Structure 1
Amino acid sequence: MFKKTAIATALGATALMGVSQAQAADYVIDTDGQHAFVQFKVSHLGYSYILGSLEDFSGSFSYDPDNLEASSVNIDVEVASLNSNHAERDKHIKSDDFLDVAQYPTATFTSSDFSPTGDDAGVLTGELTMHGETNEIEMQVTLVGEGEDPWGGYRAGFEGSTLLTLADYGIDMSDFPEVMHDVELYVTFEGVRQ
């Protein structure tokens, strides 16, 4: 979801490593090895925070160091995999009071643009569809690192974050304090070059 910015970051470093690594490449996000996470943080009544994750997702990204505009990222998330480590709360969040996972089981992110903001960082823009609503979002993204792994593959890792307003996705939070109306989304992942 948040990889396109990271892509731009990776591009500069990759270009310095030689022609063999400076070609467009496709990566699959490594969810099997637990090297990728989609996490969230929301205020609890202004007194503390609820932290959790969306545990079932998949995705891929590609980038070309010579043509950042051609870079792209796609992520699909199974919303029912939400886990905040409290079964009754999770059941309520997944109900039609909030996420309504029975009607809207999947959230998707598809990138549309990337703008570098400095060394190994940038802003990834794309469309996030959740709860039947689609909005353009921007995510600050940073390259964590890239290189060969011990198994003969090549990996690149990124992290990104953004703030989502739940009302933008048709989720009614009017009965709750204003501090609970926004959710911070944090994503970190490794991709394995194909």
Structure 2
Amino acid sequence: MKKTLAGVIIASSAVAASSSMAADYVIDTKGAHASINFQVQHLGYSWLLGRFNNFNGDFSYDPKNVEASSINVTIDTTSVDSNHAERDKHLRGSDFLEVEKYPEAKFVSKRISDIDDGGEEFDIVGDLTLHGVTKEITIEVEKVGEGKDPWGGYRVGFEGEAEIRMKDFGITKDLGPASQVVELTLHIEGIRQ
């Protein structure tokens, strides 16, 4: 999957192949079947990995008309987790996320382009609001699968990739040229409503 974008965030979903109308889904964060992960080079010597533990969202998707789909995600920036308490405190502070001033990040889709004409791979273009700045980003998405779950529901899952530049969102802390781009990996599983 080619990486293109930016931040946040996130992917769209699908309904049963036999359906001719879009279905609405809620992202399964209660069951922890979704994640928003990031990685950034540390000074060009190693990779810093992390995630946002708390977020929520919903989406609509019709495999026969991918372009009519949409997704909205809200991220609790205070939940940033790089598996190191002191570093997380730094990430939440004024050098990076400034979570007291900007406790949320949001992604709202604007349009979706079906790459393979089958609803399996597509680009989601939308507005990412992070650190008080809103920028258009593209998330490259691939469908993982869909079907009935053991509890009588119906689910669909996607994975997505994006890249964002910190300075585009007003985060100007300079850790060197190799550390300017944040790579996002998104895993989204939705429960049909």
TM-score scaled by structure 1?
0.90
Residue 99 of structure 1: SS of its match in structure 2? coil
Structure 2 counterpart of 1:64: 62
Counterpart-to-counterpart distance in 2, 1:44 and 1:3? 27
Residue identity matched to 2:70: S
1:34-73 to structure 2, matched below 5 A, reads 34-73=32-71
Counterpart-to-counterpart distance in 1, 2:92 and 2:173? 14
Of residues 108, 129, 133 in structure 1, which corresponds to 2:106?
108
1:6-85 to structure 2, matched below 5 A, reads 7=13, 10=14, 14-15=16-17, 18=18, 21-85=19-83
Structure 1 counterpart of 2:3: none
Residue identity matched to 1:85: N
Residue identity matched to 1:141: V
Counterpart-to-counterpart distance in 2, 1:167 and 1:184? 14
Residue 167 of structure 2: SS of its match in structure 1? helix
- How far the C-alpha of 1:143 sits from its partner, in A, is 0.4
Residue identity matched to 2:137: I
Contact 1:173 1:180 in 2 (8 A): no
1:171-182 to structure 2, matched below 5 A, reads 171-174=171-174, 176-182=175-181
Counterpart-to-counterpart distance in 2, 1:65 and 1:163? 26
Residue identity matched to 2:178: V
Contact 1:54 1:81 in 2 (8 A): yes
- Residues paired across the two proteins, number: 183
Residue 115 of structure 2: SS of its match in structure 1? strand
Of residues 7, 11, 27 in structure 2, which corresponds to 1:3?
11
- How far the C-alpha of 1:68 sits from its partner, in A, is 3.0
Identity percentage of aligned residues? 49
Task: Considering Cα pairs closer than 8 Å and 6+ residues apart, tell me whether 1 or 2 has the greater RCO.
Answer: 2
Please list every run of at least 4 consecutive aligned residues from structure 1 whose deviation after the TM superposition is greater than 6 angstroms: none
- How far the C-alpha of 1:62 sits from its partner, in A, is 0.4
Structure 1 counterpart of 2:144: 144
Residue 22 of structure 1: SS of its match in structure 2? coil
2:187 is equivalent to residue 188 of structure 1: yes
- How far the C-alpha of 1:152 sits from its partner, in A, is 0.2
Q: Which runs of 5+ in 2 are unaligned?
A: 1-8
TM-score scaled by structure 2?
0.90
Counterpart-to-counterpart distance in 1, 2:126 and 2:52? 19
